Amino acid sequence: MSASTTTTAQLAPAKPNHEFTRRPQSKLGVFFWRRRMWFESTFVLSMLEPWEKILLLSVFAMLFLLVSSAVLKYLPHHLVFMWRRAIYYLWGQEGDERILWQWLGLTAGDGSSAAAGIFGAHKEL
């Protein structure tokens, strides 16, 4: 008795299918493919399973939205607060911002020069 073996002329497709990692043909496709490959290799997303990628990217997106909304909502108020603190540290008192504008010579309408604004600032302090 001899053992019979059958060979196939064509191999079965590889599993898992890595078709998404192949370079596309169009220039626009290559541009986005390169950005995606850079992103996945930088953050080591290529070793994660699809559900892990979705979870991780969802967490990143949520954190990005929270930080960007905090910056848009609270930064203008904080800039005003820092402006007032700078005036306090420069002049030693909280008060009128016009003193700083006079000292810088940026007052409008009174016809004074910048030098007069600088030399006359000590009178109001």
Structure confidence at residue 2 as a pLDDT band (50, 70, 90): low
Supply 93's token pair: 């008192």
Encode pLDDT of 17-48 as tens digits. 777 778 888 999 999 999 998 988 888 888 88
Average pLDDT over the chain, rounded to an integer? 79
Supply 47's token pair: 């070793």
CA atoms of 85 and 89, how far apart (whole Å): 6
Supply 114's token pair: 């910048």
Domain-wise residue ranges, the chain:
20-94
Number of other residues whose CB lies within 10 A of the CB of residue 58:
10
Encode pLDDT of 99-120 as tens digits. 667 777 776 655 555 445 444 4
CA atoms of 102 and 71, how far apart (whole Å): 32
Alpha helices in the chain (DSSP H): 27-42, 50-91, 98-104, 114-119, 121-124
pTM: 0.49
Structure confidence at residue 51 as a pLDDT band (50, 70, 90): very high
Q: What integer pLDDT is reported at residue 59 of this predicted model?
A: 96
